[in-house]
Chains A and B, each alone.
Chain A
C-alpha cells in the first residue's frame, strides 16, 4: 500500500527524513530502527570538510525555525568511509545530498559518493541559502542550474534529483530548465531566506545574519510550488517543507509530490517519521485510497489513479 518506485529508488514507503535534519542517521538510530524509513536523505557532503558558520546558528520564528548551519560535514571521503559504511547495516536506500561552491566541486563529490553501495540517488543541493559562494547562483539562474545538472549527470552512477530553492521569481522556469538538463527528479522546497532581529540588540539573532526558514510556516509555499511544478514537468518530485504529520504528507502528495521528506519536525519529535509511516495506511483507507500512489497529484488530476514511476 505504501511502496513506491522512483528513479533509482524502490521505496517501501514514501517517507524519509530531509537532508540537514537527520545528520547521517546515527542520532536517530538510538530512537528507532532506521530500516523502517523509505529512504534517508543524508546531510550534505562537500569535497573538503567544512566547519560551517559561527554560532548562534538557529533562531525560532512563528511556527518555524531559521537556521544557518553552513553545510558542516566531514568531507565526502569520510562520509563514504565512515557514515555511509555505518548506514549499510540498515535496509534503507540513501539519497546523498551533494553540495559545493563551483561545478568542479559538485562533480567531484557526485562522482565519488554515487559509487557508494547504499547510495541509490543524489540530491543536488543548489539551494542552500547559508553558503556565501556558489550556492545562490546555482539555485536561482536556470542556465547555471542546468549546466550544473548536466555536468553531474555525466559522472553520477545513480539518478540525480535537484533540490529547488523557493527563493526565485519563477519556480516553474527553474524546474523545466533542470528537467531539460537531464535531471531524474526534483526535491522541493529548500528553506526560504529569512532574518530575525533581537529586541535588545537591534541586530540579527543568528551569526550569519540570514538563515533558512523551515517548519510549518513554509508549508503553504511548498504546497503551492509543488502544485505548479508537478503539472509542468514529467519527472517526479520529492516534496518537503513544514511536514509535521500524516495529513501534511497526504497534502503534499495531493499537490503532486511522489514521496515526502520530513525535516524540522524531527527536532520537535524524534519519532515523527516512524509515527507517520505507521499512521499512513489507516489515513489512506479513511480517505478511500487503496494505494499511496492514488493520491499523487490529486489536486490537479482529473483521474486520481496514477501509475507508479519507474526507473
Chain B
C-alpha cells in the first residue's frame, strides 16, 4: 500500500563523485518488498522545488524498518536532499511502481543484472533477493569514469561483477554490451536499469531472451494521475495505447513499450 510518511535519516554519506547514499527509517519500509520500486521525495518544505523527486530503492531492511537509496546530487532538488543529516526527516511517498519480477527466474538459473550509472542501485536489492532464492547472479555495471564507481564490493559479494567505464579509467573499457559479449556471459534472464540508449542497445541484442528493463522518465505525480511519463506500447508504437512509467512500470518486459 502506498503511504506518505516523514521518515528519519539514519545514515547519509557521499560514496562517489556526486553520488550519495541515504538511509531512512520508518513504518513505510514494511510496505516495501518488490525490488525496482521507487519512492517520491519532497526535498523542501516550501514551494521551490515544488515537485517530488523519484528515487529508486536500493536496499530494504524490514527488521530495522530502514531502506537505502542512492542518488546523484545533480539538480537543485537532489542538492538540497544531499544536505540532510542524521535525525532530519524526509517526506516520503511510496513505495511506488512495479519492480522486477523475481518470479520470472527460477532457482538454479542464471540472471544477468546490467546497470548503468544511477541505474545501478535498484539492482542491489534485486540481486540479494535473487541470491536468496537460489538464482546465480552475474553483474555488469557501467560507469562514466573511475570516480563515479560505487557499490562494487556489495555486488561482488553476491556474484560475478564486471565494472565498465566509458573512459577505461577503471575496469573494462567500453559499453556494458561489449563487456557482455567479450566475457561471453550466458544467462537465462536479464534485468537492467540505466540510460535509455543502454536499454535500447540491450533490447536490440538480447530482446529474444527474457529481458526486463527499468525505465526513467520525467514525472509529475509519480502515481499515474498526471500522464507526464507515458510511452507508446510495443504493439501500437504510433497509436494511442500507452503505459505510464510511474505506475505501470518502471519495469517493463522487452518489447512491451517503445524505448
Instruction: Check if A58 sits within 8 Å of B47, measured CB to CB.
Output: no
Residue of chain B at shortest CB distance from A68: B228
Instruction: Check if A50 sits within 8 Å of B228, measured CB to CB.
Output: no
Chain A 144-177 interface 0/1 with B at a Cβ cutoff of 8 Å (1 = within): 0000000000000000000000000000000000
Q: A30-B2, A49-B240, A67-B220 in contact; A60/B227 too (CB < 8 A)? A: no
Interface size on A, residues (CB 8 A): 41
Residue of chain A at shortest CB distance from B217: A55
Instruction: Check if A216 sits within 8 Å of B50, measured CB to CB.
Output: yes
Instruction: Check if B227 sits within 8 Å of A52, measured CB to CB.
Output: yes
Residue of chain B at shortest CB distance from A28: B225
Residues on A with beta carbons closer than 8 Å to the beta carbon of B42: 268-269
B18 at the interface (CB under 8 A from A): no
A281 at the interface (CB under 8 A from B): no
Residue with the highest number of chain A CB atoms closer than 10 Å, among B50, B93, B239: B50
Residues on A with beta carbons closer than 8 Å to the beta carbon of B240: 49-51, 74-75
A8 at the interface (CB under 8 A from B): no
Q: Give Cα A253 to B239, complex, Å.
A: 43
A141 at the interface (CB under 8 A from B): no
Residues on A with beta carbons closer than 8 Å to the beta carbon of B219: 58
B226 at the interface (CB under 8 A from A): yes
The listed residue (B4, B231, B247) touching A55 by CB distance below 8 A is B231
Q: Give Cα A63 to B52, complex, Å.
A: 12
B242 at the interface (CB under 8 A from A): yes
Residues on A with beta carbons closer than 8 Å to the beta carbon of B224: 23, 26-27
A19 CB to nearest chain B CB (Å): 11
Chain B 196-217 interface 0/1 with A at a Cβ cutoff of 8 Å (1 = within): 0000000000000000000001
Instruction: Check if B217 sits within 8 Å of A267, measured CB to CB.
Output: no
B232 at the interface (CB under 8 A from A): yes
A254 at the interface (CB under 8 A from B): no
Q: Give Cα A56 to B228, complex, Å.
A: 7
Interface size classification for chain B: 20 to 34
Chain B 34-50 interface 0/1 with A at a Cβ cutoff of 8 Å (1 = within): 00000000100001111
A51 CB to nearest chain B CB (Å): 5
- Is chain B's interface secondary structure helix, strand, loop, or mixed overall? loop
Chain A 29-69 interface 0/1 with B at a Cβ cutoff of 8 Å (1 = within): 01100000000000100000111100111111111110101
Q: A50-B240, A55-B230, A271-B4 in contact; A266/B221 too (CB < 8 A)? A: yes
Residues on A with beta carbons closer than 8 Å to the beta carbon of B232: 51
Instruction: Check if A270 sits within 8 Å of B93, measured CB to CB.
Output: yes
B123 at the interface (CB under 8 A from A): no
Instruction: Check if A21 sits within 8 Å of B225, measured CB to CB.
Output: yes
B126 at the interface (CB under 8 A from A): no
Q: Give Cα A60 to B219, complex, Å.
A: 10
Q: Give Cα A269 to B232, complex, Å.
A: 28
The listed residue (A55, A69, A267) touching B52 by CB distance below 8 A is A267
A-B pairs under 8 A by CB, number: 105
8 Å CB interface, A100-118 against B: none
B105 at the interface (CB under 8 A from A): no
Instruction: Check if B221 sits within 8 Å of A267, measured CB to CB.
Output: yes
Instruction: Check if A55 sits within 8 Å of B229, measured CB to CB.
Output: yes
Instruction: Check if B226 sits within 8 Å of A267, measured CB to CB.
Output: yes
The listed residue (B51, B222, B231) touching A65 by CB distance below 8 A is B51
Residues on A with beta carbons closer than 8 Å to the beta carbon of B220: 57-58, 65, 67, 267
The listed residue (A27, A51, A216) touching B239 by CB distance below 8 A is A51
Residue of chain B at shortest CB distance from A30: B2
Residues on A with beta carbons closer than 8 Å to the beta carbon of B221: 21, 27, 266-267, 270
Residues on B with beta carbons closer than 8 Å to the beta carbon of A215: 47, 50
Q: Give Cα A13 to B94, complex, Å.
A: 29
Q: Give Cα A95 to B6, complex, Å.
A: 34
Chain B 92-133 interface 0/1 with A at a Cβ cutoff of 8 Å (1 = within): 010000000000000000000000000000000000000000
Instruction: Check if A63 sits within 8 Å of B47, measured CB to CB.
Output: yes
B14 at the interface (CB under 8 A from A): no
Residues on B with beta carbons closer than 8 Å to the beta carbon of A31: 2
Instruction: Check if A23 sits within 8 Å of B228, measured CB to CB.
Output: no
A22 at the interface (CB under 8 A from B): yes
8 Å CB interface, A124-160 against B: none
Chain A 258-300 interface 0/1 with B at a Cβ cutoff of 8 Å (1 = within): 0000001011111100000000000000000000000000000
Q: Closest 7 interchain pairs by CB? A: A63-B47, A49-B240, A267-B221, A23-B225, A58-B228, A27-B225, A56-B218
Q: Could you jot down 13 A-B contacts, CB within 8 Å?
A: A21-B225, A27-B221, A43-B227, A57-B228, A60-B50, A67-B220, A217-B47, A266-B221, A267-B51, A267-B52, A267-B222, A268-B50, A269-B4
- Extra 15 A-B pairs, beta carbons < 8 Å, given A23-B224, A268-B42: A21-B225, A21-B226, A23-B227, A51-B232, A51-B240, A52-B227, A55-B229, A58-B51, A58-B219, A59-B218, A72-B230, A264-B50, A267-B52, A270-B221, A271-B4
Residues of B within 8 A of A (CB): 1-2, 4, 42, 47-52, 77, 93, 217-232, 239-240, 242, 247
